[in-house]
Amino acid sequence: MGRHIRIITESSIDKKEAKKNCQECQTPCRSACKTSMTVGNLVCEVKRPLGKWTW
Amino acid sequence: MDLVKRDWHPFSIQGEYFLFNSLGSLYQLDEEGAKAVESILEGNKDPHISEEVYREIEEVLAPYESVEIQTYDNLTLKSLCLNVSHSCNMLCNYCFTSHNLTSDGSLMSLETACKAIDFLIEASKDTKNIEIDFFGGEPLLNLDVVRDASIYGKKRAIESNKNLRITLTTNGLLLSEKNLDLLDKLEISIVLSLDGGEKVHNIHRHLINGDGSFEYILPNAMELARRRQEGGYYIRGTYTAETLNFSDSFKELVDLGFRYISLEPVVTSDKYLSIKQEHIPILREEYRKVAEECLKSDVKFFHFELPLEEGACLPRLARGCGAGVEYMAVTPAGEIYPCHQFVGHTQFKLGNIEGRHINKDLQEKFKILNSIDNKPICRDCWARYLCGGGCLANNFNINRNITEPYGVGCEIQKLRIEYALWLRAKRLEVKV
């Protein structure tokens, strides 16, 4: 860890990731928002499969 | 070193400095480090900052290079919003359905609901995870169709080797124990509209006779939360220009025992209710307070839940909500619209479930607008892979133009993301 900058979270996105697109994650405008779409809330179903509930 | 400006966002919260990379990495900086990053982004190194600081920053940030996103044309429908009821047992004065055809009182027949589900199953092709969302009006006014369509959908999903998730958005008035038993049995996720405590909730959410609805809804909402402590529900509130202090509502909801909460800005052109640019500093403070509350507890505030490490892949993040392509809404009459918010605006009618005719030209327009690369303002925005390019319906509702971004919405989105990132940093600090 440096004195002037420290990593909090490292992205898991790399070049390989950029070519994925299995389309198995949810649509972003889920009912918990329904008026302000946010793709950032999406969970990758391959990395973390959701259970029976929507969230 | 050169950093592509649109890929980096330096920001500070309460005297702490952060740097976010659009692909999802987050860093904390000290003051000197923050100045150095700013100067790198401006393309002029600051002679007052030592080379040692620059070297350290370059070492950490060097692994990053721009990623070329592969775009896809073979997108399939995977989510349908079924407006099973265009009738409502409440009369909320900010409801986006009140002023158009969604308040015509009609109910969807089981036949139409099943045809819509067949359409989803077939149009989703090889996609395994599909969704339906019962919406309205108030969907529980058409409970028999909700029940029978859910049973039919689950059966069709099993036959088709698909995984169907179901959600229902309700005002909670009819969420009796008996109805909740049924929704539990059918594993239907629930979004219940509650704006906060009694005073705030009753400002906008009225019964048909004009009385406040809080006292009738709260017991049902609390029973829902009691049953679903591990998830499967969200309490969804709306804040307006008249109720900007939504952090108080958030605290009230937490105190009432709710653990999954989403508070959203109203989308309206009503001059008394709409959120305006001058409200942004107030909202910044409100989101800060909510973030601090979240830090003290395990409550999930929907927009602060950014699964950076487990989030969607880049091609998905580079697309919007999928309205009109991956996501569509169906009215009781079987008309198809790009999403629930476009329902009733006939210029956006995509087709009809009968005959499954889809206006391909209109669909193509939505497909193009779903890609952030096709939106100049979004293309150069640091928040693009968390926002996905904003809501086309909001653009229309505010600007009457789906291609013109809703600027205030962009501001809210960005400050919300900053506090989500701050919260992530703080939670990790607490864990250490």
Model confidence pLDDT, tens digit, residues A18-54: 666 788 988 888 766 776 667 888 888 888 888 888 8
Determine the pLDDT at residue B347. Answer: 96
The residues in B 87-126 lying below 8 A from A, measured between CB atoms, are 96
β-bridge partners, B20: B9, B26
Q: Are B11 and B418 in contact (CB under 8 A)?
A: yes
Phi-psi category of residue B138: left, alpha or beta, with phi > 0 → left and psi -120 to 50 → alpha:
beta
Predicted structure pTM score: 0.94
Return the residue of B nearest to A20 by Cα. Answer: B313
All residues of chain B having their beta carbon less than 8 Å from the beta carbon of residue A28 are: 320-322, 388
Contact B391 A37 (CB under 8 A): yes
All residues of chain A having their beta carbon less than 8 Å from the beta carbon of residue B53 are: 4
Query: For chain A, how many helices (H) and strands (E)?
Result: 0, 1
Q: Which residue has the higher pLDDT, A1 or A16?
A: A16
Task: Report the C-alpha gap between B163 and B57 in whole angstroms.
Answer: 45
Determine the pLDDT at residue A37. Answer: 63
Determine the pLDDT at residue A26. Answer: 87
Q: Are B258 and B297 in contact (CB under 8 A)?
A: no
**A17 pLDDT exceeds 70?**
no
Task: Give the residue from B329, B401, B346, B394 showing the smallest Cα distance to A35.
Answer: B394
- Side by side, the strands of the sheet bearing B8-13 are A5-9, B26-29, B16-21, B8-13
**Nearest beta carbon to residue B326 from set A27, A31, A55:** A27
Q: Would you write out chain B's pLDDT as a tens digit for each of its 432 residues? A: 788 889 999 999 999 999 999 988 999 999 999 999 999 999 999 999 999 999 999 999 887 767 777 666 788 999 999 999 999 999 998 887 755 545 688 999 999 999 999 999 999 999 999 999 999 999 999 999 999 999 999 999 999 999 999 999 999 999 999 999 999 999 999 999 999 999 999 999 999 999 999 999 999 999 999 999 999 999 999 999 999 999 999 999 999 999 999 999 998 889 999 999 999 999 999 999 999 999 999 999 999 998 887 888 888 888 888 999 999 999 999 999 999 999 999 999 999 999 888 999 999 999 999 988 888 899 999 999 999 888 999 999 889 999 988 999 999 999 999 999 999 999 988 654
**A1 pLDDT exceeds 60?**
no
Task: Report the C-alpha gap between B265 and B260 in whole angstroms.
Answer: 17
Determine the pLDDT at residue B287. Answer: 98
Q: Are A25 and B78 in contact (CB under 8 A)?
A: no
Determine the pLDDT at residue B88. Answer: 94
Task: Report the C-alpha gap between B323 and B329 in whole angstroms.
Answer: 9
Question: Exposure string (b/e) for B96-130, b if CB count within 10 Å is 16 or more?
Answer: bbeeeebbeebbbbbebbbbbbbbbbebbeebbbb
Determine the pLDDT at residue B419. Answer: 97
